[in-house]
Structure 1
Amino acid sequence: MVQNNILGAKILDLALEVEDHLIISDLHLGYEEALNYQGIMIPKFQYPKIIKRMEEIRSRSDCTKIIINGDLKHEFGKINRQEWEETLKFIDYLKERFQDIILIKGNHDPLTPIIAQKTGLEVYPHYSTGNFLMIHGDKIPTKWDDITEKTIIIGHEHPSVGIRSGERMEKIKCYLKGDFRDKKIIVMPSFNFITEGSDVLHEKLLSPFLKEANNNAMEVFGVENFETFYFGTIKHLLNVQQEPYPYDAHFIDFD
């Protein structure tokens, strides 16, 4: 277990605490109904898990503002029934517990402004606290030289890391920390409980930020049940996993 601080931001499981702001990203509410439309029949179980995890996070945080860093809902071109129900219910839940709610537009959010308008909120392309710039991460800002913040916080990638122990693979959500151009960058895991996300060691990268950055030098912080585990750099993990016995099983305690 390691200290849960990255560049002045505090890790609280799948949320990040920056000054008086709590940040979560990539909830993809309504994902189960979208999968059902595709013939993948899974129960609608995610929303209660999101609320339970939010309650656990809130018990450890005094933040009065919350930022959703993109992809509040899942469908691109429509708002399905589950999305209407869960997004409105979730925003009501947040309004009862936070003074301010900041919605940042993600690539799955072309219709989120309709939901925001119904709830009296706005959707922003990005949000700054002064030292940190929150942006979803699906596009690199065109006016990069105008950015004065020292650290960029993105979602979109849904990073996870696959840790092997013999023939067994454990895939856990993670944060990434590294450099991007003249800034520091933090990549957040998704606040989504249907999948663990994209394995940054073995799967194709999604975000243009990560496609451009020196990913091998990025540091990996795994999160599991409110514990944070430092795994070193991506390069280190890739080198270790090529060895005959890639990981000592006692290195991580999953209990």
Structure 2
Amino acid sequence: MKKIDSIEIIEAYPAAYIKPLDTIIIADLHLGYETIAAENGVFLPKIQYNKTIEKIKKIINKIPAKNIIINGDIKHEFSETSYHEYKEVKNFFEFLNHIGFEKIIVLKGNHDNFIINITRKYDNIELYDEIAINNFFITHGHKDKKLSEIKQENIILAHEHPSIGLYTDIGVKEKLKCFLYGKIKSKNIVVLPAFSYFAQGSDINLIPKNELLSPILKKIDVDNLKAIGILEDDEKLLEFPEIGKIRE
């Protein structure tokens, strides 16, 4: 595993391990994505749920942690959950329970309206807007938050779906999901990549800073953050310097 500040990347997946908490953390699953895409005329094979389960099984085989945190956007639909999405999210929670996690913590993201209608059916699932545990402050990142108001040294965000945009020799652009990390005003910042199979990323090195999704990231200089790209198929990580050095 590759250690970055306060957490360790579970190589080579869009997932991390918080050793002091014995906790796996992932974010932005966007279950039910295919159904919403179909409603908008984009028809995708319904493969994301199975790929999500397969990936988590592999992660658990590497790191049999006691707890898991879903840092926002477990579901995709903004409005009330559709039948297909409800079924996927419910089955996902059943799967996590079957694994035997002691704690399943769900942090609400901007897509997680009405998620309480599902989580309240489970006694061992805790639902929060944000959470502070020991020296870690974890929030999805879609709501504004002043760093000066956070007492914990380690801050873990999601929401941005960070990626690095790379161009081939013939000018074809490829996206590489990545972790962002660095120290800002004495805080260790980590931004998680999207766990979703379909979710598109924000090309951090290509888009203007004012077009970032997270209001928290908009207020800091992301050019000072470094990135670690995830090559899942090759089971490798690719380290990048500060974003400012690879910005186009």
Report if TM-score (shorter chain) is over 0.5: yes
Which of 114, 125, 129 aligns to 2:129? It is 125
Amino acid of the structure 2 residue aligned with 1:147? I
Matched with 2:152 is 149
- Aligned mates of 1:25, 1:221 — CA distance in 2: 16
Q: Cα 1:32–1:221, aligned 2, differ >3 Å: closer, same or farther?
A: same
Is residue 2:174 matched to residue 1:170?
yes
Matched with 1:16 is 16
Is residue 2:221 matched to residue 1:214?
yes
Q: Is the 8 A contact 1:28 1:74 kept in 2?
A: yes
Matched with 2:44 is 42
Which of 56, 62, 65 aligns to 1:63? It is 65
Deviation at 1:184, TM superposition (A): 1.9
The runs of 5 or more residues in structure 2 that have no matched partner are none
Amino acid of the structure 1 residue aligned with 2:245? H
Count of matched residue pairs: 236
Structure 1 ranges of 4+ moved more than 4 A: none
Between the two proteins, what is the percent identity of the paired residues? 36
- Aligned mates of 1:7, 1:65 — CA distance in 2: 20
Residue 59 of structure 1 aligns to a residue whose secondary structure is helix
Cα offsets for 1:114-153 (capped at 9, x unmatched): 11112333310112231211100011336x5452210110
Is residue 2:113 matched to residue 1:110?
yes
- Aligned mates of 2:212, 2:183 — CA distance in 1: 16
- Aligned mates of 1:217, 1:145 — CA distance in 2: 18
- Aligned mates of 2:122, 2:33 — CA distance in 1: 21
- Aligned mates of 1:146, 1:212 — CA distance in 2: 14
Is residue 2:201 matched to residue 1:197?
yes
Cα offsets for 1:29-48 (capped at 9, x unmatched): 01110111111111211001
Matched with 1:79 is 81
Matched with 2:230 is 223
TM-score by length of 1: 0.88
Q: Is the 8 A contact 2:14 2:194 kept in 1?
A: yes
Amino acid of the structure 1 residue aligned with 2:136? F
Which of 92, 99, 104 aligns to 2:102? It is 99
Residue 96 of structure 1 aligns to a residue whose secondary structure is helix
Residue 119 of structure 1 aligns to a residue whose secondary structure is coil
Within 5 Å, which residues of 2 pair with 1:234-245?
234-238=243-247
Amino acid of the structure 2 residue aligned with 1:159? P
Residue 68 of structure 2 aligns to a residue whose secondary structure is strand
Q: Is the 8 A contact 1:179 1:214 kept in 2?
A: no
